[in-house]
Amino acid sequence: MAKASSAKTPYQPPEQSAFGQIIDSLVLLVLVIASLFAPIFFGLAGGGKMDIAFTDKSWTGMGQSSLAQSLWEKLGFTAETAAPIIASRFDYSFSLPAFLLTAVIIVIYFGFLIYFSEKEYRDVIAERFDGK
């Protein structure tokens, strides 16, 4: 008696037209650009600068040591011309809610990716490794 064939058909991924690939590429491009500009648009990035007001615009009044003073002078600056540069500071404040929001978005994205890719992963693994 002949044995019935129990071999599964190999996994065939779905085919997509060239137009569909172009649309997918454009959508991904828009999403990447939007994800880069969204933090700036919502004010979550680019803390900016803050200026310190010096009452005394001498080297010591601006908190510069004698070494720093000599270096500024080697670069061609005087106390008056260096004052705006020294007074301008970057704002490195940290926003915990913005950090947590970013972490949650990343976790949701990877959960979404794994959840919707599970069927394809299982089909490929079953095709390659079942019966071995």
The residue ranking higher by pLDDT, 121 or 78, is 78
Instruction: Read off the tokens for 84.
Output: 């705006």
Give the residues across from 89 on adjacent strands.
50
Rounded Cα distance, 4 and 86, in Å = 84
Q: Is the pLDDT of residue 114 over 80?
A: yes
Q: Quote the Cα angle for 17-14-33, to 5°.
A: 60
CA–CA distance, 69 with 45 (Å, rounded to integer): 33
Backbone angles phi, psi at 109, to 5 degrees: -60, -50
Across 60-74, average pLDDT:
93
DSSP 8-state code for residue 76: T
Tell if the pTM clears 0.85, that is, is over it.
Answer: no
Lowest mean pLDDT among 7-11, 56-60, 65-69: 7-11
Say what the pLDDT of residue 116 is: 86
At residue 99, what is the residue type?
A: F
Domain range list for the chain = 42-93, 95-132
* pLDDT cut 70: percent of the chain above it: 90
What value does the CA radius of gyration of the chain take, rounded to a whole number of Å? Answer: 30
